[in-house]
Amino acid sequence: MSTPVLATKLFIPPPRPRFVPRPRLIEQVREGLQRKLTLVSAPAGSGKTTLVSEWAADCDLPVAWLSLDASDNDPARFLAYLIAALQTIAPDIGRGMLVALQSPLPPPAEAILTNLLNEISARPGNFVLVLDDYHVIDARPVDDAVGFLLEHLPPQMHLIIATREDPQLPLSRLRARGQMTELRAADLRFTPAEAAEFLTQVMSLKLSVVDVAALEERTEGWIAGLQLAAISMQKLEDVTSFIESFTGTNHFVLDYLLEEVLQQQSASIQHFLLRTSILDLMCGSLCDAVLLDLAAPGQATLEYLERANLFIVPLDNKRRWFRYHHLFADLLRQRLLQVTAAEDVTELHRRASQWYEENGFDLRAFQHAAAANDVERAERLIGRKGIARHSHGVVTAIIRWMESLPVSVLNARPSLWWRYGSLLLVIGQTTGVEEKLQAAEDAMDAQAENDRSRNLVGQIAGARAVLALTRYEPATMLAQARRALEYLDADNLASRASANWPLGFGYFFQGDLAGARDAFTQGI
């Protein structure tokens, strides 16, 4: 099954309409193209993405961009998006590898990357690949894949990584070999001249030279700190007193400023900000569906927030999709829970889930259904084709949700017990699987037999056949697989294919190659 690619992850963020030009940094990035890697590593709010996107806007070379998120810790998903990013500048590259990545048992990452690097080496012309927000990666297999890519990088390819923290890559070796250009927090901080231009020109504040210098000193040139301070000062008369009390190194300053920014907005904007904070990604129609507020049209409000510099990030060139700055979103969600009744927050998640489902985003629809404690909708979404149940990251998210459910809820829906055990097998865990399959059977005893329950009997048997395969028990594999095929609905092709897999291996382990061939052929 092909997993859809979220195109917004591949867009180069457009330059802001008003920004401070930074030619000294652009030149450093440009010079870095002579080496394998340019590492832009600095804390949140240092302007990493803004800098790289500003450079990319005037770059003479093709630029492939991938904005990473936590789900890219799954190696197969990471490689699929890596290839998708490269296809934005070379549409035919890696097509065969994408097909291989969708198989139940994809090839090792090194094999995929070897073929990909060979294709790149055969192509003319230089290009750049940008991996943005690399700090969300905490999976060693993904780090190893990027390390392999760097080690064997073709001469026509350059890699830029933007991250809040140094990645687990062979940086020391690259540094010693002179193969890496580094831009750190000290490089990205605003100079006094840049801070003055930002505060007076971009944020339109009327500040004295002394006030600008004091604020630049207190923030140490940290761009987000300056922006937060500037927004807080826009409606203040005594800005000098504010600046004197502002301490950029205080760990609580960020929370304080976000509070002040939020409280200075109109009631309608606060309402919009708080209630849309449940969304990782936003577009106008999604916001309309969640808020049901005709007085504040979603698209118009999003555009206003962008113009007002209220920590909203455009994700495409058409200004359709946005997200909040992560730190700002965290604050908004915290405040939402403080000032809004739990049942109202639940209703927001339910509306978001409905919109995502209607628009083909099944995984995000499930995530919001789970947040809304809508077990019926969440279970239905898990079974839909839009959720890649062979993806480690997706499966882990579903298992975490199931772990949170009371036993009474699972007992009321025996199919959830079966999914629980089956998904543990998907991530390679066998402990506790039989107990969950037995719990499914026990819960079924209280329900009347019908076509749906017979199909569930087959699904449980199929899971037991796979469990027996992990233990190399051919007799059990054959018995449970045959039971599965006896009970499963004729049109339940996915489960029947899964049952034929251990059936074929059962025959194979017993030396019956003809039986194995027939079972595998039937599965295909």
Give the separation between CA 264 and CA 245, rounded to whole angstroms: 19
Closest C-alpha to 460, from 491, 499, 427, 492: 499
Between strands 37-41 and 180-183, the pairing is parallel
Residue partners of 303: CB distance under 8 A and separation at least 6: 319
Which has more pLDDT, 36 or 389?
Answer: 36
* Residue 247 reports pLDDT greater than 70: no
Q: 73 is written with which tokens? A: 């810790």
Per-residue model confidence (pLDDT) at position 256: 54
Amino acid at 178: G
Whether residue 5 contacts residue 80, with contact meaning beta carbons closer than 8 Å, is answered with yes
| Whole-number Å distance between alpha carbons of 479 and 506 | 9
Instruction: Tell me what the pLDDT averaged over the chain comes to.
Output: 88
> pLDDT by residue (tens digit) across 188-230?
989 999 999 999 888 888 888 999 998 888 777 878 888 878 8
| pLDDT exceeds cutoff 80 at 297 | yes
Q: Check residues 99 and 409 and name the one with the higher pLDDT.
A: 409
Residue among 338, 337, 343, 300 nearest 320 (CA): 300
Rg of the chain taking only CA atoms, in angstroms: 27
Percentage of residues in the chain having pLDDT higher than 70: 94
Mean pLDDT, residues 493-514 taken together: 94
Cα–Cα distance for residue pair 372/353, rounded to 1 Å: 9
Is there a contact between 228 and 254 (Cβ–Cβ < 8 Å)?
yes
**Where is average pLDDT lowest: 19-28, 304-313, 333-342, 359-368?**
304-313
Instruction: Give the mean pLDDT of 401-412.
Output: 89
Lowest-pLDDT choice from 171-180, 242-251, 340-349, 373-382: 242-251
* Number of Cβ atoms within 10 Å of the Cβ of 42: 22
Residue 242: pLDDT above 60?
yes
Q: What is the pLDDT of residue 291?
A: 95
- At 344 the pLDDT is 95
Residue 472 scores a pLDDT above 70: yes
| C-beta separation of 248 from 222 below 8 A | yes
Residue 250: pLDDT band (50, 70, 90) is very low
**How many whole angstroms separate alpha carbon 67 and alpha carbon 72?**
10
**Residue 369 to residues 306, 349, 362, 446, Cα–Cα distance (Å):** 29, 7, 10, 27
pLDDT at res. 249:
42
Angle (CA) 490 491 493, round 5°: 100
Do the Cβ atoms of 468 and 434 come closer than 8 Å?
no
- Note the pLDDT of residue 252: 43
197-206, 316-325, 386-395, 427-436, range with the lowest pLDDT: 386-395
Determine if the pTM surpasses 0.75: no
Q: Which residues, listed in sequence order, are joined to residue 41 by a DSSP beta bridge?
A: 163
Mean pLDDT value across residues 278-302: 92
Q: What is the mean pLDDT of residues 387-407?
A: 80
Give the tens place of pLDDT for each residue, 63-92. 999 999 988 998 989 999 999 999 999 999
**Which residues, including other chains, have CB under 8 Å from residue 163's CB and lie 6 or more apart?**
39, 40, 41, 48, 133, 134, 135
Residue 3: pLDDT over 70: no
pLDDT bracket for residue 101 (50, 70, 90) = confident
Q: Give strand pairing partners of 63.
A: 128
Query: Secondary structure of the chain: what % helix, strand, coil (to 5)?
Result: 60, 5, 30
With contact defined as beta carbons under 8 Å apart, do 28 and 187 qualify? yes
pLDDT value of residue 502: 94
Q: What is the pLDDT of residues 414-427, one digit of tens each?
A: 989 998 998 898 88
Query: What amino acid is encoded at 256 in this protein?
Result: Y
Going by pLDDT thresholds of 50, 70 and 90, the confidence category of residue 306 is confident
pLDDT band at 390 (very low <50, low <70, confident <90, very high): low
Q: Which one-letter amino acid corresponds to residue 266?
A: S
The stretches of 314-450 forming alpha helices (DSSP H) are 326-339, 342-358, 362-371, 375-382, 392-404, 407-412, 414-426, 433-444
What tokens were used for 226? 């300056």
pLDDT digits (tens, 9 = 90+) for 367-381: 999 999 999 898 888
What's the pLDDT score for residue 108? Answer: 87
Three-state secondary structure along 317-341? CCCCCEEECHHHHHHHHHHHHHHCC
Q: Is a pLDDT exceeding 60 seen at residue 59?
A: yes
Q: Using CA atoms, how far apart are residues 322 and 329, in angstroms rounded to an integer?
A: 12
- Of 103-112, 143-152, 281-290, 387-396, the least confident: 387-396
Report the alpha-carbon distance of residue 394 to residue 75 in Å, rounded: 12
- Over residues 264-274, mean pLDDT: 89
